[in-house]
Amino acid sequence: MATAKKAAKKTSKKGSKKPAAKKPARKPAKKASAKKAAPKKAKKSGAKRKPNAAFMKPMTPSGVLAAVVGSMPLPRTEVTKKIWDYIKKNKLQDAVNKRLINADEKLRQIFGGKRQVSMFEMTKLVSSHLK
């Protein structure tokens, strides 16, 4: 009789495990419905970006800056691209810290006499040479 009770307990434990296994199967179904709701939110905020007109406005570079980028009026984005082309062409980017720019004679005049400038500071210093 003792063995019959143990056998009954084992089968009852096994029986309780089966419904528990079914419960996790139901949870992914709820997650799937949550996943469907997420892309709807992305579509609402998915409007096309419009470029800022201030960045696209052609600006005349100063004489010092014109030695590097040319004298034609250019948007600020193009001025920055041309300065980076000049930096890469003349290998003025610091070898250890790529965020720093080692100025040559032309760039030193633009950077206010500084020998080394960070790439973030560069855009700030260049903007003072645009009108």
pLDDT at 69 over 70: yes
Contact indicator for 87, 95 with CB cutoff of 8 Å: no
> What's the pLDDT at 96?
95
CA angle 62, 123, 61 (to 5 degrees): 15
pLDDT at 47 over 80: no
> What's the pLDDT at 45?
57
Contact indicator for 83, 126 with CB cutoff of 8 Å: yes
User: For residues 65 and 20, which has the higher predicted lDDT (pLDDT)?
Assistant: 65
Q: Which amino acid is at 83?
A: I
Tokens of 131: 């009108």
